[in-house]
Structure 1
Amino acid sequence: MIEKIHIYHTNDLHSHFENWPRIEAFIKQRKQQHELEGEEVFLFDIGDFSDRFHPYTEATMGKGNTKLLNNAQYTAVTIGNNEGITMPHQGLASLYEEANFDVIVANLYLPEQKRPDWVLPYQIYETKKGTRIGVTAVTTYYKKLYGLLGWELSEPFTELTMQINEMKDKTDMIILLSHLGIHDDEKIAEQYPEIDLILGAHTHHYFLEGKQTDNAFMAAAGKYGRYVGYVQLEIQNRIQMEATLYETELLPSVQDEEEKIQSFLDKGKQLLNETVTYMDNSLSFSWKEPSPLAELLCEALHEWCNADCTLINSGVVLTPLNSGRITKYDLHQMLPHPINPCIVELSGAELKEILLHAEDESWSKLPVIGLGFRGSVMGNFVTKGVFIDNNEVFMNQKPLEPENMYKLATTDMFTFGKFFPEIQRSQIKQYLMPEFLRDIMEWKLKQMSI
């Protein structure tokens, strides 16, 4: 007799709740239908379900997202970098306190290789017909950043080998929840013939009908909840798999859908309605010209980092600050990015190259996607501690010494991206975590009001 198993999967939702009411209704309806037919259903999320760009996630530190996963009756989830390194240690440690599902992350540890008590390295699910399905998961290897937040990461491939060796004699098939990205997933498909199905994430890739490799079947569902992934397994002596993606926009609409979407914003705004300070004057912003708000942020970062000079892009500022009462919600709307400050050590020659490059007017219109940036364009650059005159860079009234080393305060997005190769190549980078830009702006505004 053929056994049918149904797997639904999501990844990289990034708190795009505009798609959530339809996704939740769809998977609940399908789950009920399959169970009425006596067939097994599993529901997995492959990480980055939470993103602090959304006020509701920010205000609840992701616990509101966990409630949504509970309501949709997920089987298990893994974490992405947005759960792992955009929350303070206690934020992640308590994120799943009320979870009704398994949290599987094989390569996440506390110091001294102690596994958190809320994390499983793998789980084996047995169907009513006795099929044993082993599920393990690995997350992106941002070892240094996790370390700054009090976690340890093991190398994903090494960890995967250990978990597969542990599971392979206890299971009939193995599923990997991978928040590593498509290139690593392809390597895993080649190197681990024991894995039958790889559900992917992180690089926002998708397969309309899955992808069969020599060893494994791969599936992924893009980003922001635009698709719900579905894999059907038929087991009779051997495993056959078919995959498809359901486009959320084409799913049936939900009663009071717009009200439900708006409610996430309203709850977040209400919870963030905490006074930070009062301002006598409004502060405007611009992505093309010098503006008081971008300059104040640059000054705040300069002071926070105690650096020789500071460089930020004005595109991080998304709203003005109006006079009167300023709340945490206002600062969140102004700076929603999960971006941390960073101090980079550079030679005078490298720093000069960066600062002269930053003078290019074309930056103001350059579209930017990813790297924690939640705006639209780079914007012009703002500096503190240096000035440029006739293509010469001065600090403390003196030209930069080409061989001297200087500390540049900037945002971590420039250490990950390729906008300034000199920053990316620097061997000495100090990430200041867990504070985001909005936390530093809050600190600065409170300093000003004293």
Structure 2
Amino acid sequence: MKEQIRILHINDLHSHFEAYPKIKRFFDEQSKTDKEVLKCDLGDNVDKSHPLTDATAGKANVALMNDLGIDFATVGNNEGIGLAKSEINQLYEKADFQVVLGNLTDRNGRPAWAEPYVIYETEAGTKIAFLAYTFPYYKTYQPNGWQVHDAIASLKRDLTLPEVKKADFRILLSHLGIRLDEKIARDVPEVDLIIGAHTHHVFEEGEVIKGTYLAAAGRYGDHVGQIDLTFKDRVLTDMAIEAVSVSDLDAEKGDADFAAELFQEGERQLAEDLVCKLSRKPTQKECAEMVMEAMLKSADADVTIINSGLVVEPFEQTVTKASLHQSLPHQMRLVKFQVTKAELLDICRDIFSQANLLAHQQIRGMGFRGRQFGKIMTNGFTYKNAKIVYNDKATGKKDKVSLVLVDQYYFAPYFTSVNSLQGQLLFPDLLRQTVEKYLRGDL
């Protein structure tokens, strides 16, 4: 018996809802077919840089996923790490789709909101196993209360499960990135199709490695994926993979209004929460100094280094959660180090030697959601002529100094002196939540 299955998929939307109306129409149009249709989201749908995502802790994203008719979704690092554990444990309470995730546990076992795999039986009786794994950021999942496990080891384990072994076709919903996807295609022949995400890559017509098919649809909704599978007597006979550029899809009146209304609704909800009233509107430099003070107090640290570009807009005189979100939209937390004064000097030499190069660069990823890196600023010490002058009130005569940074410095590749250190990631608050507590007087 011949049957046809169509899979529609998106990934790494990062709360870029401006593409949503086109994606919705594409999903609806391509679902008008005799083919059996399944819809998937590959993770990183949620990003708190959007005010409505921040205001609802991602539940607005889930409502839109329901509206798209998503059947299966997996988790990206922006859900698993970008949300506090309590938030992701509530994220999918009203989901009309199944969350699949095979490499995340806590001390009680697998999260109640996810299944390690799903066996989907088509109308004609073909059994398709959906497996899913997220990139194992060991350093950040653990302090958020999770244990994230090696994805390939978890995949190989799950492929031995009787239900998965007996399936006619096995699909990996991967939030692992292109390199791991390619490795799986080379080394794990039991996987028939990998739908990829995380590294924002695009396979316009798919790829094939050693008989395993790969599909991927970019980021921010700039592409939408379509995969057409043909089976005869439960055996795959044909596959067509396409990543359709959303820019090629027709726009309609109201598309821009839709995205603007979601943004405005998020700002409206956040604006209802007053943080504080300042004596006057501060300058950007004064805001950056307040950010550093907040970081020092929150982390109970001696010294800090930041880049002024973290403050995207100076704080308003009347600070609400909405205005604070505009100023600090970043998806980043704090990281604390215990360093010798010699190590701090090495870090300063590393960072300040790149200061001019980075100052006007548009930094992307690693949680940064600003326009440019900006100038390097310090608190607790000054750095001049390749030497450190300490604020003795902060450091005294201690052999070691506690240093707090934003975690972007820890994970981004440009500061190797920081990358090599062992840091303590401070959960659950994002940077703006730390600053909010400081402005409220709660630190």
Q: TM-score interval w.r.t. the shorter chain? A: over 0.9
2:257 and 2:391 mapped to 1: Cα distance? 56
Indicate the larger mover: 234-243 or 414-423.
234-243
Q: Is the 8 A contact 2:274 2:320 kept in 1?
A: yes
Matched with 1:340 is 333
Q: AA paired with 1:308?
A: D
Structure 1 alignment gaps of length 5 or more: 286-290
Which residue of structure 2 lines up, in the alignment, with residue 94 of structure 1?
Answer: 90
CA distance in structure 2 between the aligned counterparts of 1:404 and 1:233, rounded to whole angstroms:
64
Deviation at 1:255, TM superposition (A): 4.4
CA distance in 1, matches of 2:112, 2:300: 38
Which AA in structure 1 matches 2:142?
Answer: G
* 2:280 corresponds to 1:281: yes
Deviation at 1:378, TM superposition (A): 1.1
Give the superposition deviation at 1:300. Answer: 1.4
CA distance in 1, matches of 2:89, 2:236: 40
- Pairing of 1:167-182 with structure 2 (within 5 A): 167-182=163-178
Q: Does 1:415 align with 2:414?
A: no
Indicate which of 361, 365, 371 corresponds to 1:370.
Answer: 365
Report if the CA contact (8 A) 2:159-2:165 is conserved. Answer: no
Deviation at 1:404, TM superposition (A): 4.4
| Equivalent in 191, 197, 205 of residue 193 of structure 2 | 197
Query: Which residue, out of 144, 148, 153, partners 2:143?
Result: 148
Q: Which amino acid is the alignment partner of residue 25 of structure 1?
A: R
Q: TM-score, normalised by structure 2?
A: 0.94
Q: Which residue of 1 aligns with 2:16?
A: 16
State how 1:311-330 maps to structure 2 within 5 Å.
311-323=305-317, 325-330=318-323
Partner of 2:303: 309
Q: Percent identity?
A: 36
**CA-CA distance at 1:117 after TM superposition:** 1.9
The 1-side partners of 2:243 and 2:366 are apart by 26
User: Superposed, which structure 2 residues align to 1:42-121 within 5 Å?
Assistant: 42-112=38-108, 114-121=109-116
| Partner Cα distance (2:384, 2:140) in 1 | 37
RMSD, aligned CA: 2.1
- Look up the match of 1:288: none
CA distance, structure 2, for counterparts of residue 115 and residue 361 of structure 1 = 47
Q: Please, which of 239, 243, 246 is the counterpart of residue 244 of structure 2?
A: 246
2:288 paired residue number: 294
SS at match of 1:209: strand
Residue in structure 1 matched with residue 258 of structure 2 by the alignment: 260
Aligned residue-pair number: 437
The aligned amino acid for 1:432 is L
- Secondary structure, aligned partner of 1:293: helix
CA distance in 2, matches of 1:168, 1:75: 19
Tell me how far apart the structure 2 counterparts of residues 297 and 169 of structure 1 sit (CA, whole Å).
Answer: 53
In 2, distance between residues paired with 1:397 and 1:62?
A: 44
Give 1:397 shift.
4.9
CA contact (8 A) 1:88 1:149 kept: yes
Question: Where in structure 2 are there 5+ consecutive unaligned residues?
Answer: none
Tell me the distance in 1 between the aligned counterparts of 2:122 and 2:316.
Answer: 58
CA separation in 2, counterparts of 1:310 and 1:383? 6
Separation of aligned partners in 2, 1:157 and 1:404 = 43
Q: Is 1:440 equivalent to 2:427 in the alignment?
A: no
